[in-house]
Amino acid sequence: MNTMSELQRQLFLQQQNGKLLRQAADFSYQYLQQAPQAPAFPKQSALDLLSAFEHDLPDKTGDAEHILNQLALKGGPNTVHYGGGRYYGFVNGGVLPIGRAARWLADTWDQNAALYVMSPIAATLEAQCEKWLKQLFNLPAGTVAGLVTGTSVASLCGLAAARYRQLTRLNWDIENHGVFGAPKLRIILGRQTHGTVIKMLNLLGFGQQNIEWIDCDQQGRMQVDNLPELDASCILVLQAGNVCTGTFDHFKQIMPIAKRANAWVHVDGAFGLWAAASPEFARLTDGVEHANSWSVDGHKTLNTPYDCGIVLCDDQPAITHALHQQGSYIQHSGDRDSMMFTPDMSRRARGVELWACMAYLGRQGIAELVELLHHRALYFAKKIRLGGFRVINDVEFNQVLLRCDNDQQTQQTLVNIQQSGVTWCGPAKWQGDDVIRVSICSWATTENDIDVAVDTFVKARHNT
């Protein structure tokens, strides 16, 4: 007797004949071939196609091929091309081809990376990523890594470990007693701290009024002379890579002061921590290895696919106490159980593509990629200055901050740039002025792309 339902029959057929996957591969290949000519941001004619997705939930099971077609033909043109050479918005990285391919495979495997017994391959690759990241960033041997969605969540994990450790030092058991009535921790941030750190501090129960703010220099680095007296109740957050200027805090000077005081140091190194993997930038990251926790993204400088955030912590007991979970059905093993280092239980196996990208590039290739982004940023700065813009940052890494003659001209120039379709970048405020942020974050950006983008910038300003 055939006990298979009609739905099951269809699903088995789809899975076994491989047609959907082959179509997806064809669509993907076409997409990538068109990418160099594709607009950096969708044109209005593409945006008009989006209404095709705004229908009621169908009553009945539909046609899978039709659905895939709809995604490819109406969704594809509405993607933003971070991976192209002329997209410089936010700090959105490109994708290495091996990362994309490994991600496809991982999607097919569809592994849950919570525990070794759920996926030996996911656990093994994560353990290997942890080892390589420690070597690349020169971190202490006892450092552990958790793979999360992005730097936001990685910072949450690092700060949760910090809260556990510092409260334990003050004889407070946060696990049992929570934050109510706890001894006060001192949170010390530079005024240029990224908004995600503040959001995560809020989630952990630290009100913004309790933050001790340290002034920064013109480039966004914390002013060391303004550091208050530190002690074992302190959590100090430093930055490797300011989101606007790309500058680095003075780790070499600050870290010994923090260490002596038993202050916990968390480093937000979303894109900049990768500088530690390049000898060319050793002077920028010198001392960063003495922090207690670090957050960094694979999906920015390393160009892994989205999403890939990493928390690193030199205090394994602190991070596992902060993030562990119990349940009689949880089967731990002597091998790596990754859920000890992340807030999630179920989690996709993002270690697959992270491992593949690092295995492919190797130590030298990673350094070369980091340096390439920097050299492209220097080239951009040189060309855009010649084009009459003011570059207002030191271009220490991959960010270039620009300004026209006044706020109004800067704003209108940016509108024109965004509407061009040729290139895309976003706004920010710096020292009270409107600025344009250019973030070079894709392996695919060539000098030719920059020449084309700079021409567009110059025309955009001319047309204000």
Ligand X SMILES: Cc1ncc(COP(=O)(O)O)c(C=O)c1O
Closest to ligand X by CB, 192 vs 445, is 192
Tokens linked to 311: 């928390």
Closest to ligand X by CB, 196 vs 233, is 196
- If you search the block for the tokens 């004619």, which residue do you land on? 45
74: number of CA atoms within 13 Å, CB side?
13
Query: Cα separation of 271 and 369, whole Å?
Result: 12
Closest to ligand X by CB, 58 vs 195, is 195
CB count within 10 Å of CB 142 equals 11
CB count within 10 Å of CB 333 equals 11
Backbone angles phi, psi at 450, to 5 degrees: -65, -40
For residue 89, the minimal CB distance to ligand X (Å) is 10
Q: Which of 264, 358, 369, 258 is nearest to 310 (CA)?
A: 358
Closest to ligand X by CB, 85 vs 150, is 150
For residue 272, the minimal CB distance to ligand X (Å) is 7
Enumerate helices (H) and strands (E) in the chain, giving the number of each.
Answer: 15, 11
> For residue 459, what are the CA distances in angstroms to 374, 391, 440?
25, 17, 20
For residue 50, the minimal CB distance to ligand X (Å) is 24
Is residue 355 classed exposed, middle or buried when 0-12, 13-18 and 19+ CB atoms within 10 A define those classes? buried
98: number of CA atoms within 13 Å, CB side?
12
For residue 5, the minimal CB distance to ligand X (Å) is 42
Q: What angle do CA 427, 219, 250 make, to 5 degrees?
A: 130
Residue 74 DSSP symbol: I
Closest to ligand X by CB, 164 vs 271, is 271
CB count within 10 Å of CB 290 equals 18
For residue 193, the minimal CB distance to ligand X (Å) is 9
Closest to ligand X by CB, 126 vs 268, is 268
CB count within 10 Å of CB 301 equals 29
Binding site for ligand X (CB under 6 A): 90-91, 150-152, 194, 196, 241, 243, 268, 270-271, 297, 309
Q: In the bound complex, which residue of the shown chain has the CB atom lying closest to ligand X? A: 150
Closest to ligand X by CB, 421 vs 426, is 426
- If you search the block for the tokens 């989006």, which residue do you land on? 50
> For residue 123, what are the CA distances in angstroms to 113, 116, 323, 334, 340?
7, 5, 17, 12, 12
Closest to ligand X by CB, 192 vs 233, is 192
CB 233 within 8 A of CB 129: no
71: number of CA atoms within 13 Å, CB side?
11
For residue 148, the minimal CB distance to ligand X (Å) is 9
Closest to ligand X by CB, 172 vs 206, is 206
Closest to ligand X by CB, 151 vs 445, is 151
Residues making up the chain, counted from first to last: 464
CB 66 within 8 A of CB 60: no
